[in-house]
Copies of this chain bind each other. A is one copy, B any other.
């Protein structure tokens, strides 16, 4: 990890293209997976082994929204969580789940900074483009996405 990201707090200028930020790992239990699904995505393939076996998932799978929310928590606890203005998303693009995450999986992710630019509409602010790649313990990719975030520029001294 770049030593740049040890500065706290971070500003737009601290995000440079090609920088990679690691987040996680986080192991998710079966109980957590079922509890999330009961609350937000109560479909048989997220709740019941037998039903899941006969579904597209061929076995119990986490809700994709649970995978995404777990990743958000890992990122908030990563160096990116030190952005002075917080992690505030403007847009997500092309969020996919190539392989389902499953109860018991250990997830970790790498975020690449694709670029930044100053905001035209909001002086003192800019936007960063990030690519997220999330893998399980077998190195299967369980989620990918790109997003745009707000970040405050470093204040003048």
Using a CB–CB cutoff of 8 Å, the interface residues on chain A facing chain B are 39-45, 55-57, 63-65, 68-70, 72-73, 76, 81, 85-97, 145, 150
Contacts and interface: CB of A to CB of B under 8 A. Distances in A.
A93 B64 CA distance: 14
Contacts of A64: 89
A45 B94 contact: no
Contact of A56 (B39, B56, B76, B88): B88
A97 B89 contact: yes
A129 B126 CA distance: 32
Nearest to A152: B56
What's the number of copies of this chain in the assembled complex?
2
Contacts of A81: 43
A44 B76 CA distance: 11
B55 A65 contact: no
A91 B42 CA distance: 19
Contacts of A39: 69, 73
B73 A43 contact: no
Contact of A76 (B41, B68, B86): B41
A18 to B, nearest CB: 25
Contact of A65 (B68, B91, B94): B68
Contacts of A44: 86
B69 A65 contact: yes
30 contacts: A39-B69, A40-B69, A40-B70, A40-B72, A40-B73, A41-B69, A41-B72, A41-B73, A42-B73, A43-B76, A43-B81, A43-B86, A43-B87, A44-B86, A45-B88, A55-B85, A56-B85, A56-B88, A57-B88, A65-B65, A65-B69, A90-B96, A91-B94, A91-B96, A92-B92, A92-B94, A92-B96, A93-B93, A93-B94, A93-B95
